[in-house]
Amino acid sequence: MSQAPSESPSSSGAGADPRLDALRTWLNGRLPTLLDEHRVPGAAVAVSVGDAVIDVAAGVLSKRTGVEATPDSVFQIGSITKVWTTTLAMQLVDEGKLALDAPVRDYLPDFALADGAAAAAITVRQLMCHVSGFEGDIFTDTGVGDDCLEKFVATLGDAPQLFAPGERFSYNNAGYCVLGRIVEVLREKSYDACLRDHLFAPLGLAHAATSPYEAILHRAAVGHIQAAPDAGFEPAPAWALPRSNAPAGAMLAMRPRDLLAFARMHLADGLGPDGTRVLGAESARAMREHQTDVPYLGLMGDEWGLGWEIFDWPGGTVVGHDGGTLGQSAFLRAVPGQDVVVAVLTNGGEPLGVYEEIVGHVLRELAAVEPPPLPVPAPDAPRIDAARYVGTYSSSAADTVVSQDAEGRIWAERTPKGIFAQFGPPERIELAAAREDALIAVERRHGMYQIHSFVGDDGDGHALFLHTGRADRRVAP
């Protein structure tokens, strides 16, 4: 059983809004049960309405040590870091040092990809909204020195181009490393120093860490993973991904209330908690504006802004981002105009169930927003002709073969490659019809029924890409 919840003695202003007092009571009663139901070792949650903040934690930071999770514990926020990286870049836009529609090579003259013309054309804006078109699941470890990001960007010369810059959305971690390197060059300091000087300091964050060396000074969560699909969740063998991927989300860690301080600054159009101008109002608003549409994927946003995901939900528009590292998962949602923010930080298990219930409850109660449920397969899904989808799709992360058997059942066999091969064996997943050009897994894995969207056309009536957040290109019929 999960340990009893704890709440921060510094929770502020809850009494000013009785809804937050009721919410804290609900969280104290529900969070430990949710962790048990979804095999999550520990979690911390923070919610704010205006300046009023509550935070609650339950469970343990590590099953090995049994140390209790508290609201002051620091968890990794994973890819939510991308919004921080975008904010650092937009500060430079405010200062006139960076132009969104300028080519990356204006700032990084040696930036190279396998497609030289694409490398010359890609803009800063395209990096921010994942439309640069080059393959982005690249996690080369270039050491822990302050030059690791410079070295990482220099390794991208053979990264293949999936589509022309600006053509479509495909989530790109490496693109954010390039953006982080631009920040370094223009600031003439390391990415970590940029975070500390230009965001941590003006936001007054005292429990945020840019590395394991800083995280260990706090009560730090450890990620938990499975060695096999039917095994229990145990502490991960490493705490963080390579530092060279820091701008994409390799190791930034903090308390949930610190993450709220960052999001509340954005909702205040760039003003920090003490009135300090952290980001220009125009830049803060621009980050929340539509830049590109996203294929139907179930969990991801409907659109992407500059850094932010945008969710078009019943009751209002929500911005946010999710993050996942080695056994840690983080979820952030904010409602512009309602001044409501919720953060859920976890360290293993199947956290989507925890996210779905807590975020759904918070947004319904405080913002009258109704997050749609995660997709599930219809029990009476019809058999369809999958000829448009059948084929082999490939990236540096995996090869996926989509086939249809004599009974009309559709299968996706995914074989991880490279660094991803160590995270699990090949998987064979049955798919069913979900909506036009989208199939859904028949069995739940990793806490959800994954959507497989098929986009584009190869000229012969076949889908050009299998899209699961990343666009894997068709390589064989």
Residues acting as catalytic residues: 79
User: What string of H, E and C letters represents the secondary structure of 347-407?
Assistant: CCCCCHHHHHHHHHHHHHHHHCCCCCCCCCCCCCCCCCCCCCCCEEEECCCEEEEEEECCC
Tokens of 126: 């395209």
The partner residues of 400 in beta bridges, in order of sequence, read 393, 414
Give CA–CA dist 392/15, Å, rounded.
57
SS3 call for 451: strand
Please name the residue ranges forming H helices in 4-111.
Answer: 18-37, 81-94
SS3 call for 116: helix
Q: Phi-psi category of 327—alpha, beta or left, where left has phi over 0 and alpha has psi -120 to 50?
A: left
Tokens of 91: 């500060």
Tokens of 118: 């694409």
216, 139 contact by CB (below 8 A):
no
CA distances, 283 to each of 108, 211, 347 (Å): 23, 28, 33
Give CA–CA dist 475/463, Å, rounded.
11
Of 358, 363, 356, 388, the closest CA to residue 457 belongs to 388
Give CA–CA dist 341/363, Å, rounded.
9
196, 210 contact by CB (below 8 A):
yes
Give CA–CA dist 440/449, Å, rounded.
6
Q: Phi-psi category of 386—alpha, beta or left, where left has phi over 0 and alpha has psi -120 to 50?
A: alpha
Distance of CA 385 to the CA centre of its chain: 34
State the CB neighbour count (10 A cutoff) for residue 205.
19
Residue 345 contacts by C-beta under 8 Å, 6 or more apart in sequence?
43, 44, 45, 75, 76, 77, 221, 256, 259, 328, 329, 330, 331
85-101 burial code (b ≥16 CB/10 A, e <16): bbbbbbbbbbeeebebe
